[in-house]
Amino acid sequence: MALQFTRDVRVVMEKASDRWEIPVLDGFSFSQAVNSSEITVNEAGTTSRRARLLFNDALAPVEWSMSTYVRPEIVATGSLCRSIEEPLWAALLGADTFTTATGVFSNGSLSPAVAISAPTTTTNAFNLNGSNISSMTNGWNLYFQFEPTGGTAQVYKLNDVVVNSATIDFDIDGIATIQWSGFARTISDNTNTTVAASEVELDVLATDNFIRNRISTMDLVRSDASPDVTYNVVLTGGSIAIENNITYLTPEELGRVNQPIANITGTRSISGNVTCYLDTGATKSGALFTDLVGDVTTVRNSFDMAINVGGVGAPSLTFDLPTAHLEIPVVNVEDLLTLDVAFHGQVNAGNVDNTDEATIIYKGA
């Protein structure tokens, strides 16, 4: 008999024969609930019958969540920029194929197939080109392996994992993190089978690929104005969320415990907010506030927006939103006046067939 501790966990993500070890932060979770029905009997008489019966109707999808740091790096094979958490991005954005030699994730179910990632010797860009699909691919698996020193390992396998959302958080005094959440079709006890990562070139023990946020910036070009107006803002923090809004189809046959059979993607949503000091420079945050609060005619503005988490050097992470819509910033009255700017990723020219709301660009050191 052995007790299991969360600090002994090792998380491995799997697609076909490829496996990636993903270091996670404290606070991860995974669970599967059952949906049940209740029938009650309440009959009066000399001898009353008062009872209740419960029936298991269906298993709900497995729900999981975990957090990782943002960790780009240049790997030995091809001197390409990769990231330790890259399979999670790939699953979030619709990839079903990985090519080991090139480090490229792609969606092969589309015709023609489209690449999800584009690793080069300095950057790796993840796009949304393969995400206009009605259902995320099966075949991604997650292993939560509790491996105590000198004890018995406990392994749980989440089968047919989908990544529903990613939320990137950064602040001036912290390290950039991503909160991941999603679903799986089933969970199984695989205690007799531990798995090891095959993508060994991704160095999970490296210490030079964490992103510090002290020099995060935002570059804005308002493209729906003539002439274009440019703003350069130094950020104190922010949060960016990408959502797939996935739901599941589950049969409702009587006399059995039904299981989820397929996931369905909902509206793709990209939104967030950034915070900064109120700076009265000509191209700073004060000018941005003045221009937005004074615009009472534009119903949908358009900004070419680049949020540079960790600055423009390496390592860093850039969110490129070429046609972002900005809300009027909120002024917070503190020791120093600050602004909270909410934004939304939009498709170009309002064409909902496009998948160009955002590009996620890693820059490795």
- How is the chain split into domains, by residue range? 6-34+54-363
Q: Which token pair is 19?
A: 């496996």
Q: What is the pLDDT of residue 207?
A: 86
Stretch 257-278: mean pLDDT: 95
- Of the candidates 117, 83, 111, which has an alpha carbon nearest to the alpha carbon of residue 99? 117
Map tokens 């996620």 to a residue.
360
Q: What is the number of other CB atoms lying within 10 angstroms of the CB of residue 109? A: 15
Stretch 266-288: mean pLDDT: 94
Position with higher pLDDT, 50 vs 119: 119
pLDDT at 137 over 60: yes
253 CB contacts (<8 Å, ≥6 apart)?
none
pLDDT, tens digit (0-9, with 9 covering 90-100), for 65-112: 999 999 999 998 889 999 999 999 999 999 999 998 899 999 999 989
Global pTM reads: 0.93
Position with higher pLDDT, 183 vs 227: 183
Burial class (CB in 10 A: 0-12, 13-18, 19+), 297: exposed
Q: What is the pLDDT of residue 186?
A: 93
Q: What is the pLDDT of residue 46?
A: 83
Stretch 257-283: mean pLDDT: 94
Q: What is the pLDDT of residue 1?
A: 54
Q: What are phi and psi of 128, to 5 degrees?
A: -105, 15
Task: Tell me the β-bridge partners of 275.
Answer: 237, 340
Confidence grade of residue 365 (pLDDT, cut at 50, 70, 90): confident
Cα–chain center distance at 193:
28
Lowest mean pLDDT among 135-144, 189-198, 308-317: 189-198
The rounded mean pLDDT for the chain is 93
pLDDT, tens digit (0-9, with 9 covering 90-100), for 198-247: 877 788 888 889 998 778 999 999 988 888 899 999 999 999 999 999 99
Using alpha carbons, list the distances in angstroms from residue 337 to 232, 276, 330: 18, 9, 10
pLDDT, tens digit (0-9, with 9 covering 90-100), for 19-57: 999 999 999 999 999 999 999 999 888 888 889 999 999
Q: What are phi and psi of 86, to 5 degrees?
A: -60, -35
Confidence grade of residue 141 (pLDDT, cut at 50, 70, 90): very high
Do the beta carbons of residue 245 and residue 269 sit within 8 Å?
Answer: yes
